[in-house]
Structure 1
Amino acid sequence: MATLLHIDSSVFPGEASSSRSVADAFRKAWEEQHPEGTVIYRDIAASPVPHITADAHTAWFASPSERTPEQSAAFAARVKLIEELEKADAVLIGAPMYNYSIPSTLKAWLDNVILPGRTAGETPSAQGTPVTVVASRGGSYAPGTPREGYEFVQNYLEAVLKGSLGLDLDFIVPELTMAPRNPAMSELVPLYEASRRRAFEDAARKAKELAERLAV
């Protein structure tokens, strides 16, 4: 049966997080299609993966017999994350926008799984694997909006997930999530509600379509 790798990175728990809530809807729809499937789940906000160290980086360029104990341990931690990505039939990532970019914990996960000559390069080991990113944000950074030029989540993840890892990338974008909390954005609440409703609909639909596609 199919395996879904699910990564959450929001610092907010449960329904307080738009990215978690929408990703959870995607996952539930996925599990309905794959009741006997496997979900590999990592909450990297609650349990962060190690940031890349010199030992983790240089171990790749040394033969196993020449690695120091520190290099071997650091590289083994990277390999575990890489193997989770490689065995996945699909990937789901919750990526809220913090200060115009992704959470540092998600950047750390990406730094671990991007390995030239294995997951990145001419023949990436997870090439073609579908990845759905729930890219929530407090405002709107859509084309034509005043802050369009500050959108560094989708642009960055497209370069990394699609350009480096060769994944088949798709986005779900719940926006204006701060509108219900920020009085200055109160007039935008209807737009927020429409965006949220559309995000949940997209999550259920895309999960079902992806499950059906992989079943063929």
Structure 2
Amino acid sequence: MATLLHIDSSAFHDSSVSREVTATFRKEWESQHPGGTVVYRDLAAAPVPHLTADGIIGTNVPAESRTPEQAAAVALREELAGELERADAVLIGTPMYNFTIPSTLKAWLDQVIIVGRTGGEGGSAAGKPVTVVAARGGGYGPGTPRESFEFAATYLEKVLTGMLSLEVHFVIPELTLARVNPAMASLIDAADASRAKAHEDAAEKAKALAARFAA
């Protein structure tokens, strides 16, 4: 049975739209693969360390010559990269913080992108499908005043395709702050519609991927 690697990165739990939508994807995925495996990382509850010089240098040093610090840093990178490599599909949930992704998700990416292994041409993760639920509090779509401020989905599309050669699909619920920000009250209906569409899209993508791996 197929393995799903599920990553959540929102600092919030009960009120997180990205977590809500990844949960919808995962529920549909698991209904299609009841005997499958889900590897879950909550980067808010258990953040991975930022990449250090030991982790960078250590990957290019023979195991027997590594310092204890390098060995520990490389072991973490091996663990995280291995999870990515063993997964048949990947699910990433992220909010937009200050126009980009949370630092916890960036830290995970820096750890798993190992040039010459997972990263670069012909990498070990190449072609793997990843569904990204990228929630944002405002509207940043084409033609909106803040279109040029969108560095979350834009960045993820570039790094996931350009560094890991993954097959990337996005689900984007927008205007998620409409119900808590009085200045956005007029956008509540649009926000609710975007949220509902995101749940629908997530379920459809999960079902399509499940069918793909069942074939």
What SS is found at the alignment partner of 1:95?
strand
Tell me which amino acid in the other structure corresponds to 2:46.
S
Q: Deviations over 1:24-60 (max 9, x none)?
A: 0000000000000000000010100011111111001
Q: What residue number does 1:80 align with?
A: 79
Tell me which amino acid in the other structure corresponds to 1:3.
T
After superposition, residues 128-167 of structure 1 pair within 5 angstroms as 128-167=127-166
User: C-alpha root-mean-square deviation of aligned residues, in Å?
Assistant: 0.6
Shift of 1:95: 1.1
Tell me which amino acid in the other structure corresponds to 2:211.
E
After superposition, residues 31-46 of structure 1 pair within 5 angstroms as 31-46=30-45
Shift of 1:214: 1.5
What SS is found at the alignment partner of 2:141?
coil
Tell me which amino acid in the other structure corresponds to 2:85.
E
Tell me which amino acid in the other structure corresponds to 2:183.
A
Q: What residue number does 1:92 align with?
A: 91
Counterparts of 1:53 and 1:108 in 2: how far apart (Å)?
Answer: 10
Tell me which amino acid in the other structure corresponds to 2:146.
R
Report the TM-score when normalising by structure 1: 0.98
Counterparts of 1:166 and 1:148 in 2: how far apart (Å)?
Answer: 25
Tell me which amino acid in the other structure corresponds to 2:118.
T
Shift of 1:155: 1.1
After superposition, residues 1-216 of structure 1 pair within 5 angstroms as 1-14=1-14, 16-216=15-215
Counterparts of 1:188 and 1:113 in 2: how far apart (Å)?
Answer: 38
Task: Provide structure 1 residue ranges, at least 5 long, that are not aligned to the other structure.
Answer: none
Q: Which stretches of structure 1, 4 residues or longer, exceed 3 Å deviation after superposition?
A: none
Q: Deviations over 1:102-128 (max 9, x none)?
A: 000000000000000000111110111
Tell me which amino acid in the other structure corresponds to 1:76.
A
Q: Deviations over 1:124-143 (max 9, x none)?
A: 10111100000000001000
What SS is found at the alignment partner of 1:128?
coil
Q: Deviations over 1:153-175 (max 9, x none)?
A: 11110111111101100000000
What SS is found at the alignment partner of 1:144?
coil
What SS is found at the alignment partner of 2:122?
coil
Q: Deviations over 1:39-93 (max 9, x none)?
A: 0000010100011111111001111121111101110011000000000000000
% identical equivalent positions:
62
What SS is found at the alignment partner of 2:135?
coil
Task: Provide structure 2 residue ranges, at least 5 long, that are not aligned to the other structure.
Answer: none
What SS is found at the alignment partner of 2:69?
helix
What SS is found at the alignment partner of 1:61?
coil
